[in-house]
Structure formats: structure tokens, C-alpha cells
Amino acid sequence: MAGQHLTAVEEAISHILAQAKALTGSETVPLADSLGRVLAEDHHVPADVPPADNSAVDGYALRTQDLVANQPLPVSARVPAGQAPMAIEPGTAVRIFTGSEIPAGANAVVMQERVEATDAGVVIVADVSDGQNIRRRGQDLRQDDLALARGIRIRPQEMGLLASMGIARVPVIPRLKVAILSTGDELVEPGTALQPGQIYNTNRFTLLGLLAEIGCDVVLCETLRDTREVTQTTLKRAANEADLVITSGGVSVGEEDHVRAVLEESGELSLWRMAIKPGKPLAFGSIDGTPVLGLPGNPAAVLVTFLVVGIPYIRKRQGVTDYRVYGEPLPAAFSVDSASIRKEFVRARKELNGQQMSVAAYPNQSSGMLSSACWADGLAVVPEHTTITPGDIITYYSFAELLG
């Protein structure tokens, strides 16, 4: 087990990522259902995209050598998109539309706004150059080129690219199966009247939303009673059903914090207590060979530690090849007068002050206040042993970037 010291955030993330083994195997899904999934195979281009030269505009295809100033070109054919054209007749123009295949022999397209129609044909009223308004065969993708590599998470643009290659079904890495275990006799579900000493189970729903956002399947979602026996039994059952067990609460130093004790006694605890604010009592280990990520119990701490530590781990398990986040350097619009030994992730948002964008922090950063995260758009980083004066440059991570 890790010692009682606080593990630096970077060291903790490196340790956890070293244990993150990507899921093996693949499953094939319809392209329409592939959003957010991770490619299980490299995709090479089966044929040139586009498959033939085509027009970038509505207009007229022609041979530039046929142009004579102020002389009309008779229109010899019309080529709607989706029809194969005949070769262009020398000395004529062909009516053409965006996406229509270029007739053999034509070497330019003039948009219709640059043409005057007459009874004798069309008069071109603009300069015309070879290749003008023609999208060349293979301009987007060349046959046999690598289009998309294994480990890329599919966004709408990847869906479109796969469709452009004629791919209807996509091999993807299986979804990570996750169990969510909330701890605490005081927890009750929303919709139930609170009795003295009770609180609603906030963390379950935060984690359900986060896991849905990043494409995981929740296979078990339960609240643990505060006993060692129930904690051990349920952890083992969750480990048998899931690829990852996430707990909230139960990893601190109190007498009722049984998750950490069970991991020490019946499994493995390789990390405990991280130099992060909020979220110091974070644990990582395993039970019956299944990884367990033990998050703190306070709602804001659950959100922050999941975004900072949990998501990179899950992305690597999902087979994503690039799970890094880079952040954005911006001036602070807040101050921190007392330096901490922990790296702090401040619930914050970007605001425009005059002509300059800066980062404002929510006034109350209590680890129990989730309303601060609803006000915020991301997290601003205050490094260890550091004070902040307004105008100091800090790193800001948007929630969108942290979620990938």
C-alpha cells in the first residue's frame, strides 16, 4: 500500500495510467450508431474520394482553349449530379451542377454568376484558369492511404469520413463496463422524503452522467450500507460483473470508511491520498483482479477527481490513443492568498473583461458545493505552494476538453 504521504497529482495519474490495460477484442456496429465509439482497426481508403473530378459550383464546364472574348459558347449538354456525362464537344459549354462529374475534355468550370446567357449560348464575363472550380479525383482521400487509425474516438466528422469511403458497419472496441457503488447509511434516492440525518445521493447521478458522456456501460449501481461485510460482499460482486468499479466515499480515515479497509484486506490498495484539492482521499487498487477507483465522498470532489484522474484512465482502457488534455493559458481574475501543499482545481469560467478573456473563480470552493460546478465552465489550476494575483497566467481546462 502507498504510504500516508500525499501523492502528487502527476505521480498519481502516471501510476494509475500504468495500470490501465486497454480492452481487447472488437464488435461491429452500424455507422449510424458509432458516435463516441473507439475504432478497433485502422481504416485505409478503398477507393479515391471523390471517385472522379467533379464541379465545386453550379455553372458551366468548358475547355479554356475554346474561349474567345465576348463570343458565346453554345450549350451542348446538361449534366445533373449523379449522371455520368459524355465527353464535351469542342467549342461548346456543358451546363453542370455542384457535385456533377466533369465531362472528359473539360478543364474548367465557370460559376453561373460569371456567365451571361444568350440565344446563341453563354458568354463568359470573368477570367478563367485551368482547373478552376474543379474538385479533383482523390483530392480528399487517395486509395490505400491511412484514413483513420485504430484508437481514434469517432466524432460526427469521422462518421462522415467513413461514410465517404462507403463503410456501413464499423469495428469498434467494446464499451467499458463500470459499476458505481455509493457508500453511506445517510444516502437516500431523489424522490424520497428526507428523514433527520439523511441526504440525497448526489454522486450516483453525477457519475451516471459522466460515464454516459464518455461512452461507458453502467452494469451495477448500488448504495452500500456502512458495514465491512456488506462492503466486501458487494465489491466482490461488482468486480465479477464489471471492468472497473468506481466507489464514492468510504476511502477516508473514519471508522465507517470501509472501502479502503476492504481493499487493503481482501484486494490491493496501491494508491491512497493524493495532493489534490478538492479530493485528497482518493484511492486506487483492485479486488479479485478488477480495478477499483475510490473517489471521495464530497460531491464537488467526486466531479473534480473523476475529470482529472478518472477520465484519462478510462480513455486508455477504452483504447483511445490520445487522451491528453492541454488546457489554455489565461490571466486569472481571482486571487489566492494562501499557498497550499496540494494542487487545486478551481471551479471557474472564462469571462470577457473589456477586450481580454480571463478566468473567474466561483467565490466558494467548498468540496461539498456542486452548485459551483453548474456555474463554472471548467477548472483553473492553482499549482502547489503558489499564490495567485489577478493577472497571473494560469492554466484553464474547459469541461468540454476534460470530457474529451
Q: What is the pLDDT of residues 177-227, one digit of tens each?
A: 999 999 988 999 999 999 999 999 999 999 999 999 999 999 999 998 888
What is the pLDDT averaged over residues 276-304?
95
What pLDDT does 358 receive? 97
Q: Which residues contact 162 (CB under 8 A, 6 or more apart)?
A: 31, 34, 43, 148, 154, 170
User: Cα separation of 244 and 37, whole Å?
Assistant: 18
**Predicted local confidence at residue 147, as pLDDT:** 95
| Single pTM value for the model | 0.84
Confidence of residue 2 (pLDDT cuts 50, 70, 90): very low
**Averaged confidence pLDDT in the chain:** 94
Q: Which of 88, 121, 153 is nearest to 318 (CA)?
A: 153
The DSSP code for 33 is G
**What percent of the chain shows pLDDT beyond 70?**
98
Task: Give the mean model confidence (pLDDT) for residues 26-48.
Answer: 96
d(CA 222, CA 337): 41
Q: Cα(109)–Cα(97) distance, rounded to whole angstroms?
A: 10
* 316-352 per-position pLDDT tens digit: 999 999 889 999 999 999 999 999 999 999 999 999 9
Distance CA 247, CA 176 (A): 16
Q: Is 123 exposed, middle or buried (0-12, 13-18, 19+ CB in 10 A)?
A: middle
Parallel, antiparallel, or unpaired for β 283-287 and 328-331? Answer: unpaired
Would you state the cell numbers that stand for residue 75, as one nine-digit string? 450549350
The torsion of the CA quartet 307, 309, 312, 317, rounded to 10 degrees, works out to -120
pLDDT tens for 118-162 read 999 999 999 999 999 999 999 988 999 999 999 999 999 999 999
Q: pLDDT-derived band of residue 258, with 50, 70 and 90 as boundaries?
A: confident
The pLDDT score that the predictor gives to residue 1 is 41
- Whether 252 has a pLDDT exceeding 80, the answer reads no
Closest by alpha carbon to 396, among 342, 332, 353? 332
Helix, strand, coil content of the chain in percent (nearest 5)? 25, 30, 45
